[in-house]
């Protein structure tokens, strides 16, 4: 039997992550974020562990995230609209095969190209630098059903629904604002705050942000290449597998002062089992 890695001894970096304010007297710097103006936020300096030594131990059903090898042919496409369209065309069959799903429906407006250099390519969004889970459990089935209706796909009965999110760096390493993920087992239900979120396309649904808790364990994958893909879970209708992974971008220029601006693409998929 392989010896498990002591995760407390993993190499780590530190980065600022925004959290929902727990109490009015919480002793942490306040921050205001777009679309979260009605939700008081604070920042914490968080230790973020290198997850590469434990990649073979990670489980989507336990920690809520993992890293896989996967190539796409459209990574060099510079037009964000064409990139997003081609990316979904390549990723959707991969997600279906990877999860051995009955069918998969991509969220069309949930594929997002981002960059920390907002002047590099018009149409790219900046990174999301707060600890969040995109969909609250009560909202996930409704968002999935709404996506089927928008695409003209008949709504079918199913035994299980997962929301799987996929994140890929398009720029070479090291990235200045990589993605950090929280071990789902260390994020307590009492630390998850449900709120009404309005997307860029004016869609409103229940989302979640995280309160800070020093027992939360955060991880990232340094030096990511374009042929690597982070998969993480946003929802699972199977309660014993519902390891939703809070996540956030963070500024890693303390460790890499000369890091180039991050470019990345992310997508969301509704994964069904009959």
pLDDT per residue, tens digit, the chain (274 aa), is 668 899 999 999 999 999 999 999 999 999 988 778 888 999 999 999 999 999 999 999 999 999 999 999 999 998 888 999 999 999 999 999 999 999 999 999 888 888 877 655 555 566 778 999 999 999 999 999 999 999 999 999 999 999 999 999 999 999 999 999 999 999 999 999 999 887 665 578 899 999 999 999 999 999 999 999 999 999 999 988 888 999 999 999 999 999 988 999 999 999 999 9
Cα–Cα distance, 3 to 82 (Å, whole number): 45
Residue 147 lies in a domain: yes
In a domain, 91, yes or no: yes
Distance CA 158, CA 163 (A): 14
* Whole-angstrom distance, CA of residue 193 vs CA of residue 39: 10
Tell me what pLDDT residue 118 has.
60
Report yes or no on 51 lying in a domain: yes
* Residue spans of alpha helices (H) in the chain: 80-98, 140-150
Q: Does any domain span residue 1?
A: no
For 148, the domain range is 9-273
CATH number at residue 140: 2.60.120
Number of domains the chain contains: 1
DSSP 8: G
Contact criterion met (CB below 8 Å) for 234 and 266: no
pLDDT of residue 176: 93
In a domain, 131, yes or no: yes
DSSP-derived letter for residue 233 is: E
Q: Could you tell me if residue 3 is inside a domain?
A: no
> What is the model's pLDDT at position 125?
64
pLDDT in the model for residue 201: 59
Position 153 in a domain:
yes
- Asked whether residue 83 is assigned to any structural domain, the reply reads yes
pTM: 0.93
Strand partners for 270: 105, 163
């Amino acid at each position: 039997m392989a010896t498990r890695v002591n995760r407390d001894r993993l190499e780590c970096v530190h980065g600022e992550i925004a959290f929902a304010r727990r109490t009015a007297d919480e002793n942490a710097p306040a921050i205001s974020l777009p679309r979260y103006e009605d939700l008081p936020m604070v920042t914490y300096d968080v230790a973020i562990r290198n997850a590469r030594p434990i990649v073979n131990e990670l489980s989507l059903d336990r920690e809520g995230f993992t890293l896989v090898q996967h190539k796409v042919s459209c990574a060099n496409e510079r037009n964000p609209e064409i990139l997003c369209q081609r990316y979904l065309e390549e990723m959707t069959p991969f997600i279906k095969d990877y999860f051995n799903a009955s069918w998969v429906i991509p969220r069309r407006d949930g594929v997002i190209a981002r960059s920390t250099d907002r002047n590099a390519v018009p149409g790219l969004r900046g990174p999301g630098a707060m600890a969040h889970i995109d969909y609250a459990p009560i909202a996930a089935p409704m968002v999935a059903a709404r996506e089927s209706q928008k695409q003209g796909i008949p709504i079918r009965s199913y035994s299980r629904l997962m929301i799987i999110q996929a994140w890929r760096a398009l720029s070479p390493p090291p990235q200045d604002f990589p993605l950090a993920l929280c071990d789902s087992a260390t994020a307590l239900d009492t630390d998850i705050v449900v709120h009404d979120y309005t997307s860029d396309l004016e869609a409103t649904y229940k989302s979640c942000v995280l309160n800070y808790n020093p027992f939360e364990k955060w991880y990232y994958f340094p030096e990511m290449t374009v042929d690597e893909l982070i998969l993480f879970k946003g929802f699972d209708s199977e309660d014993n597998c519902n390891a939703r992974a809070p996540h956030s971008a963070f500024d890693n220029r303390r460790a890499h002062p000369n890091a180039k601006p991050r470019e990345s693409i992310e997508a969301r998929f509704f994964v069904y089992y009959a």
